[in-house]
Amino acid sequence: MSHRIVFLDRETVAGYVTLRKPDFDHEWVDYGHTAPGQVVERLKGATIAVINKVRLTADAIAQLPDLKLVAAAATGTDNFDLDACKKAGITVSNIRDYAIHTVPELTFGLILALRRGIVGYREDVKAVKWQKSGQFCFFTHPIGDLHGSRLGIIGEGSIGASVAELGKAFGMRVMFAAHKGIDGLGPLYTPFDEVIETSDVITLHCPLMPSTRNVLGMDEFKRMKRTAILVNAARGGLVDDAVLARALKEGLIAGAAVDVLCQEPPSDDNPLLALLDMPNLIITPHVAWASKEAMQVLCDQLIGNLENYVNGNPTNVVV
């Protein structure tokens, strides 16, 4: 049997990364990006869909009787209607453990930038404040050490575990937050409320699910230390952009760095974009995962998932 493989958003993986072709009989079609109204048209006749962030709805699935495998070119599958895939007998696979170095490294780059006031001091030099200061240094932005501070991690998967190891190397006291509203998870977890109220740094590394959407709301921000910082390199929906913007404007936290937003790319009226002049806010365009090395691992694993499915031994199965 020959398979028709359609990659709906090929441009989400850098062109300089090798994406080898699978070793079974197939036709491969690439689209750089796909609008919602083009999904069904482009997947008609496809037996395998490769998708990173394009949404695959129940309505679209109902119109694609040939589809047998949806291969996510990412770990997250919240953009797929998994129930509809299951009912239609469609296997869904994803990518795992490919970002255990790249995401933690960016996470700590952002943590260091905020705790050391790097963005603010760089802007001060650009604004000629150092040159006019009359002394060898000045203190317009607070600076805090990581050593001895408390790191609260929400999400205990492979990336969260890697972040914990880096935190320990910096001499931080690491806490894995128990799931919100759930007690009795064991001694490896710190109660969620304690993590919120005592952390100097909170970093998010959990998947986006109904139970984690808006896991940090205004109530949590009001209970956080005023000197605490937040880093989100996981999913935008874990924190509502408008709520985070309000927390920053009201000084409920000392700073935030986000690699993800609720809508990507963001609209011009996103409330966080209006705060980009704040030295304690850093926004990067969903690139925590995107080191060359990590993308190569992703591509190799993606093609392996396709080959294993066709060979009757599907891997990384979500549905």
3-class secondary-structure state, position 50: strand
- Range 187-192 average pLDDT: 91
Residue 185 has a pLDDT of 73
Beta bridge partners of residue 39, listed in sequence order? none
Q: What angle do CA 312, 313, 315 make, to 5 degrees?
A: 135
The CA distance from 208 to 62, in Å, is: 25
Residue 312 has a pLDDT of 96
Which of 105, 107, 64 minimizes the C-alpha distance to 87?
64
Residue 21 has a pLDDT of 94
Q: Name the amino acid, one letter, at 21.
A: K
Judge whether residue 1 has pLDDT over 90.
Answer: no
In the chain, where does the domain assigned CATH 3.40.50.720 lie? 3-96+292-310, 102-283
Strands 91-93 and 69-72 come out as parallel
141 close to 115: Cβ distance less than 8 angstroms: no
3-class secondary-structure state, position 108: helix
**Side-chain-facing half-sphere of 37: CA atoms under 13 Å:** 0
Where would I find the beta strands (DSSP E) of the chain?
A: 3-7, 26-30, 48-51, 69-72, 91-93, 150-154, 173-177, 189-190, 201-204, 229-232, 255-258, 281-283
pLDDT tens-digit series, residues 123-137: 999 999 999 999 999
H or E element, residue 222 = helix 218-223
Judge whether residue 287 has pLDDT over 80.
Answer: yes
Residue 315 has a pLDDT of 97
Task: Please tell me the pTM assigned to this model.
Answer: 0.90
3-class secondary-structure state, position 28: strand
Note the CATH architecture for domain 102-283: 3-Layer(aba) Sandwich (3.40)
The CA distance from 238 to 301, in Å, is: 27
Judge whether residue 276 has pLDDT over 90.
Answer: yes
The CA distance from 271 to 287, in Å, is: 20
3-class secondary-structure state, position 257: strand
Verify whether residue 179 is a known catalytic residue.
Answer: no
The CA distance from 201 to 110, in Å, is: 11
Residue 187 has a pLDDT of 80
User: Which among 101, 286, 293, 307 is annotated as catalytic?
Assistant: 286
Residue 181 has a pLDDT of 83
The CA distance from 164 to 104, in Å, is: 9
Verify whether residue 286 is a known catalytic residue.
Answer: yes
Is the CATH code 3.40.50.720 the one for domain 3-96+292-310? yes
Verify whether residue 264 is a known catalytic residue.
Answer: yes
The CA distance from 165 to 149, in Å, is: 14
Compute the mean pLDDT over every residue in the chain, rounded to the nearest whole number. 96
Which of 73, 77, 144 minimizes the C-alpha distance to 114?
144
The CA distance from 238 to 48, in Å, is: 30
User: Which among 11, 165, 264, 293 is annotated as catalytic?
Assistant: 264
Reading the block at residue 180, the tokens are 């919100």
pLDDT tens-digit series, residues 55-105: 999 999 999 999 999 999 999 899 999 999 999 999 999 999 999 999 999
pLDDT tens-digit series, residues 123-181: 999 999 999 999 999 999 999 999 999 999 999 999 999 999 999 999 999 999 999 98
Reading the block at residue 56, the tokens are 């695959």
Judge whether residue 233 has pLDDT over 80.
Answer: yes
pLDDT tens-digit series, residues 191-211: 999 999 999 999 999 999 899
User: Which among 3, 10, 205, 235 is annotated as catalytic?
Assistant: 235
pLDDT tens-digit series, residues 240-254: 999 999 999 999 999
No. of H helices and E strands in the chain? 10, 12
Judge whether residue 183 has pLDDT over 80.
Answer: no
